[in-house]
């Protein structure tokens, strides 16, 4: 089996009054990446934070900052998020007409490029940009708010994307409704990065976060081992 499942807590569910400490706690509790959900109140019906907030917490950890831009247009803001310290910048295929151009721009900024698909968007839209990608983020809820229920029909989409990627070194990331119960479904289908918000930040403090991260990772890794066996 390849390396264990990567866990990327979404700070959308963190205590924003102590965001820097929350980032440190969740990484010290065993998380791999920090997932940053940026929403603009236009592309999705919620507003979260921008590059200045990200820049303010960048010094709290050396972990990968995984930035998920749920904004439209995205291109005018790519440089600002790169300068803020994001390592992976993911744009939505639905957010603009020139996906290839957006991915080129991210790569030209020296960052890894990701594309996200809403639950109802077919995976065929990324067929011609696969060689520009480092990550495919599949939404298993409709974007905009944390705490939504997992959409089971996306599991088959994960399998199709995995087949489409082939041997390319592209991560498949899942965002939405990830718990120890749903993690095995997407892990067995081919996902190797799991975003979780409320399932990790429930209960406060590093000890609770460590237990929550371990439970999700164990469930996902077990499913991947079963498939590999």
Residues marked as catalytic: 37, 175
- Is residue 114 within 8 A of residue 120, CB to CB? The reply is no
Question: 35: closest CA among 158, 154, 129, 174?
Answer: 174
Write the CB contacts of 113 (distance below 8 Å, at least 6 apart in sequence).
Answer: 88, 89, 90, 103, 106, 107, 132, 133, 134, 135
**Residue 128 backbone dihedrals phi, psi, to 5 degrees:** -95, 5
Q: Checking DSSP bridges between strand 112-117 and strand 135-139, what pairing results, if any?
A: parallel
List the end-to-end C-alpha distance of the chain, in Å, as a whole number.
9
């Amino acid at each position: 089996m390849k390396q264990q499942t990567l866990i990327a807590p979404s700070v959308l569910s963190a205590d924003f009054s102590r965001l820097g400490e929350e980032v440190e706690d969740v990484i010290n509790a065993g998380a791999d990446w920090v997932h940053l959900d940026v929403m603009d109140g236009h592309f999705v019906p919620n507003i979260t934070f921008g590059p200045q907030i990200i820049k303010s917490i960048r010094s709290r950890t050396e972990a990968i900052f995984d930035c998920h831009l749920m904004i439209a247009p995205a291109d005018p803001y790519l440089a600002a998020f790169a300068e803020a310290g994001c390592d992976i910048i993911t744009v939505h295929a639905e957010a603009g007409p020139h996906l290839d151009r957006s991915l080129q721009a991210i790569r030209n900024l020296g960052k890894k490029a990701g594309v996200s698909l809403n639950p109802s968007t077919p995976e065929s839209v990324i067929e011609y940009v696969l060689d520009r990608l480092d990550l495919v983020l599949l939404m298993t809820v409709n974007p905009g708010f944390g705490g939504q229920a997992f959409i089971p029909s996306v599991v088959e989409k994960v399998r199709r994307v995995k087949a489409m990627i082939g041997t390319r070194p592209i991560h498949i990331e899942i965002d939405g409704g990830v718990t120890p119960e749903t993690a095995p479904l997407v892990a067995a289908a081919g996902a190797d990065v799991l975003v979780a918000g409320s399932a990790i930040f429930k209960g406060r403090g590093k000890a609770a976060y460590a237990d929550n991260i371990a439970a999700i990772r164990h469930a996902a890794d077990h499913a991947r081992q079963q498939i590999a066996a």
